[in-house]
Amino acid sequence: MTKMVQWLQCVEADRAMGLPSGESVLVFSSYIVWYLFLAGTAAGAFVVASACSAYDALRQTDDSEEVAVRVQAGFLAAPVIIAFAALFLLLDLGSPERAWLVVLSPFESIVSTGAWLVALFFALSAAVAVCGLVMRRIPPWFLWLAWTVGSALAFGVMTYTGLLLSDMVSIDFWHSWLLPVLFVASSFATGLALVLAFGVLASGGKRSTSCCLWKASGFVGIAEALVVILLFCNRYGYSDAARASCDMLFTGDLAGFFWTGVVGCGMLVPLVLHALHRSAHNEAFVFAASAGVLVGGFFVRFCIVGAALYSPLAIGGFA
């Protein structure tokens, strides 16, 4: 067994030891919530920008060019945001020794694999951003390479942030294949929201938002809401510990954050603003909806991490 795996198991065991069944525990520090949110948002923004740019390269129409121009902020924002995410990950690790173990063990745990994905994604997204700022004409082969490899790394980052939690079998609420799916959906939602918000700010609200991007944000938001519902349906009947985690979000200590942050800001407000935008094409609606999605994306991670309850069978290995 490697030192990295041994360290991760010891950390989890130390945090669980002595806790009675059903007692909430902060498995990760608050830094990891910011890390999960920022990493997912950066990855989502890069994938959205890459997809729209690739579509324009293939179609080369006025509409596709307009969309490609509006999403360029995703390329510029991605390396900055992922750099802050990496900083929060280092703060969560807590010591240079732990960070060094992650560097030396790239494929021996989900944490180390994810950290390397973040590092590689930062390097590539930073290269794309610098080229876009300083080069008048970028070779097409480099663009396609950056779009495809960068999107693959970004998708790995999005998936990893969910796998990091779902791999912890000691917490029934997290131990579901739906959790990585939720984090991927939320990453796309927040990444698209970031691109839309920057588009409104860059134009000063004078240019109307691309209809395709606006509709896509609505569909992604609905998909994320459906995954949230499926996750709770799946977890509520899984075990007593998982049900207690759900109750903590529905009516317990985290209910205010869940109903206000996740449901209210992240789902209902954007839904209402989408409906209003159909009759009054006001860019303020786009910006407000995007801000709501970003707030909701943060609180999705906050609530998921905060609702952790250890399974009694996992603590110490005895029933």
Per residue in 149-163, pLDDT tens?
999 999 999 998 788
Q: What is the pLDDT of residue 15?
A: 45
- From the CB of residue 139, how many other CB atoms can be counted at a distance below 10 Å? 10
What does the radius of gyration of the chain's CA atoms come to, in whole angstroms?
A: 20
Q: What is the pLDDT of residue 192?
A: 95
Higher per-residue confidence, 100 vs 230: 230
**Partners of residue 24 on adjacent β-strands:** 309
Note the residue count of the chain.
319
Please report how many Cα atoms fall inside a 13 Å half-sphere around the Cα of residue 7, on the Cβ side. Answer: 18
Query: Comparing 6-20, 239-253, 260-274, which segment has the lowest mean pLDDT?
Result: 6-20
Higher per-residue confidence, 158 vs 93: 158
Could you tell me if 3 and 101 are in contact, meaning their C-beta atoms sit under 8 angstroms apart? yes
The pTM of this model reads: 0.86
Confidence of residue 223 (pLDDT cuts 50, 70, 90): very high
Q: What is the pLDDT of residue 277?
A: 79
Q: What is the pLDDT of residue 281?
A: 73
Whether 317 shows a pLDDT value over 70: the answer reads: no
Q: What is the pLDDT of residue 208?
A: 63
Distance CA 170, CA 195 (A): 37
Whether 236 shows a pLDDT value over 60: the answer reads: yes
Percentage of the chain lying above the pLDDT 90 cut: 49
Could you tell me if 273 and 204 are in contact, meaning their C-beta atoms sit under 8 angstroms apart? no
Residue from 165, 184, 277 nearest 223 by CA: 184
What value, to the nearest 5°, has the Cα angle with vertex 244 and ends 238 and 250? 110
> 């067994």: which residue's tokens?
1
**Buried b vs exposed e over 9-29: b needs ≥16 C-beta within 10 Å?**
eebbeebbeeeeeeebeebbe
- Element of type H or E holding 305: helix 283-306
Amino acid identity for residue 70 in this structure: R
Amino acid identity for residue 123 in this structure: A
Confidence of residue 80 (pLDDT cuts 50, 70, 90): very high
Q: What is the pLDDT of residue 11?
A: 46
Distance CA 91, CA 102 (A): 13
